[in-house]
Each structure stands twice: as C-alpha cells, then as structure tokens.
Amino acid sequence: MPDLTVFSKLESVLGLTFKDRDVLVQAFTHRSYLNENPSFTLSHNERLEFLGDAVLELVVTEYLYHNFQRPEGELTNLRASLVNARTLADVALGLKLDSYLLLSRGEAKDANSKARHTILANAVEALIGALYLDQGMEEAKRFVLQHILTKLPDILATEKYRDPKSTFQEFSQKYVNITPSYKVLAEWGPDHDKHFRVAVYLDEEEVAVGEGPSKQEAQVAAAVNALKEKKWS
C-alpha cells in the first residue's frame, strides 16, 4: 500500500485541508494502479476527471466572457488553449503533481511519454473535481484562477490560441484560392507512444512537413512550418 500521508504535503501546497482526504487520493489514482492492487479500497479517478472537466470549462468560460470583448470564435480558441492537455500537463508539472500519482509499475517507468502527459492532464481535471466536491465551487475556482488562468498572458502574447491549420487555410484560399490537404508520410513507435510525420500540400505542391505525437499535432506543426515557408502572417 502507498504512503498516503504524502497527500498532507499536497494539501499544504494547495493551502487547504480536505474534509475527506479519500477524495483527494482518488483524484491521483490511475486505473492501472487498481489492476495491480485489487485490494485498494478507492476507485480510479475517471469520474472525478469527468466532473472536473465540466467545472474547469465553466470557470474558464465565465472568466473569458466577463474579461474579453471578443467574438465567440476567438473566445472558443482561447478556452481551448487553456484547457487542452498540454497546458494542463504543464500545470501538473509545475505543481509537481507527478509525485502523487498512483500508477502501475509499468506506467510509473514511462515518465516522459505522451501517455504520461495525458495522465497528468487528467489528474489536474480530477483534482478540480475533488476540490469541487470537498471544498465547493469557490475553492475549485480559486485553483483554476491561480494555476490555469495565469497561463493566459503567455497564450495571448504568443498567439498560441490561433489555430495554425485554420490560419494557413485562410491565407491559402485568400492568396492562391486553394484549400490545403494533409498526408501522413510516416508513423512509428508503440501504440502508447506513437509519432507521426505529416506533409501539407497546395494541390501537388508539398509546402512543409511537421512531426508530432498524434496526426493532429503533426498537422498543426506542418501548418506552422507552411506559414513560415510562405511568409504568411
């Protein structure tokens, strides 16, 4: 059995004390841990993740609505940049939440994979769900404001909220009247840690190539490179 007293340290980091610490522990319990420890009395964190995802979206949406007079499409892109797995994994790493994860031995060894980043992002959502259940909406909101919405200035400064694929398509149609297409050139790696190389084309012209841990992310990387290649901004 794990040493669950370490979660008192996390409570100190969060600046609060859980009424039911089991809810906090459950937020960090991955399904794989239960497969190896069937006598563990708590469930995995997927239901808390489901709840936390909804709370996170509501808090971020409300904040953006009240603080930014922008069209709905831009607000949607800003929200997506704040609640995506990459941002949430960065938040988790900044808080050193990986040290609290309850994982199978196999998952615990796989520290730098895309799968681990997904587990960390899911744990942040589960933690928000646990905060909501145990501490109420105000504490869940405080966490989101303090640890997630603080990423917003960088997202705005670097325009990370702009979707490179949409931007490249917009310019392609404007300048050459062509809709871009994407093709997977190669993929490799095991199922839990795949890698893709994708090219973006304007008709028969291969404009640029991008790589990433999913087809979507490789397409985005290709679009970014294509914008640079064409000097469209």
* Catalytic-residue membership of 204: no
Q: Coil, helix or strand for 186?
A: strand
SS in 3 state form for 97-139?
HHHHCECCHHHHHCCCCHHHHHHHHHHHHHHHHHHHHHHCHHH
**3-class secondary-structure state, position 199:** strand
3-state secondary structure of 183: strand
CB-count burial class (<10 Å; 0-12, 13-18, 19+) for 124: buried
Q: Is residue 53 annotated as a catalytic residue, yes or no? A: yes
Give helix then strand counts, H and E, for the chain. 12, 3
CB neighbours (10 Å) of residue 133? 20
CB atoms closer than 10 angstroms to residue 142: 16
**The pair of three-digit structure tokens given for residue 12, joined into one six-digit string:** 């100190």
Name the catalytic one among 53, 98, 107, 134: 53
Set 98, 107, 125, 134: catalytic member: 125
Residue located via tokens 């109420």: 136
Q: Catalytic residue numbers? A: 53, 125
